[in-house]
């Protein structure tokens, strides 16, 4: 798995085009490969870093396997999982641009390329601003979706009604 992680995601482009054609399928595959490893590594790192003593406490309380996962593992891993999703989402937008530069005839990546080829800096800037807005909006949506599950977390940036 580590060998696959070391391959730059954009290096897969020629192979995906050969296998899947220059259609949406190859672009989706590129985005999926680009996002998979950061999310996977973040989650696996979080799982492997859960303190053994917490599991010992679960055993003392005689938690079953599923209860141990639900009451100990998931709460311990969830903050890192959310961070990994947010990082993956940011990379996902980058790969959307890369995928659309492969050979799109529409979309924001196409607008970037079209603006470059036709010498339209305003069009390029508009596409960049739209990407920034979409990126911030989707990041915020992940934050909002995760907030109810992370209420217990005593985080520096969070004020609980104060």
At the fourth CATH level, the homologous superfamily of domain 3-149 is MetI-like (1.10.3720.10)
Contacts of 142 (CB under 8 A, 6+ apart): 82, 85, 86, 89
Helix (H, G, I), strand (E, B) or coil at 85: helix
User: Distance (Å, rounded) from C-alpha 42 to C-alpha 72?
Assistant: 18
Per-residue pLDDT, 26:
83
Which residue shows structure tokens 């911030």?
136
What are the angstrom distances between the C-alpha of 76 and each of 1, 73, 122, 154, 158? 24, 5, 46, 13, 18
pLDDT score, position 129: 96
Confidence at residue 158, expressed as pLDDT on a 0 to 100 scale: 60
Nearest 5°: phi and psi at 65? -55, -55
* pLDDT, average across residues 130-141: 95
pTM above 0.85, yes or no: no
DSSP helix/strand/coil, 161: coil
Residue 12 pLDDT greater than 50, yes or no: yes
pLDDT digits (tens, 9 = 90+) for 44-85: 999 999 999 998 999 999 999 899 999 999 989 999 999 999
């Amino acid at each position: 798995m580590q060998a696959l992680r070391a391959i730059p995601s954009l290096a897969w482009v020629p192979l995906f085009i050969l296998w899947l054609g220059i259609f949406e399928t190859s672009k989706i595959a590129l985005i999926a490969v680009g996002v998979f490893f950061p999310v996977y590594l973040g989650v696996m790192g979080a799982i492997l870093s859960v303190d053994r003593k917490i599991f010992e406490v679960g055993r003392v309380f005689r938690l079953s396997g599923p209860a141990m996962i639900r009451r100990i593992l998931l709460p311990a891993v969830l903050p890192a999982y959310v961070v990994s999703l947010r990082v993956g989402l940011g990379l996902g937008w980058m790969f959307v641009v890369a995928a659309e530069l492969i050979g799109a005839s529409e979309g924001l990546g196409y607008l970037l390329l079209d603006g470059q080829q036709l010498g339209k800096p305003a069009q390029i800037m508009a596409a960049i601003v739209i990407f920034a807005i979409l990126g911030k909006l989707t990041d915020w949506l992940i934050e909002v979706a995760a907030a109810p599950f992370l209420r217990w977390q005593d985080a520096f940036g969070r004020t609980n009604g104060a």
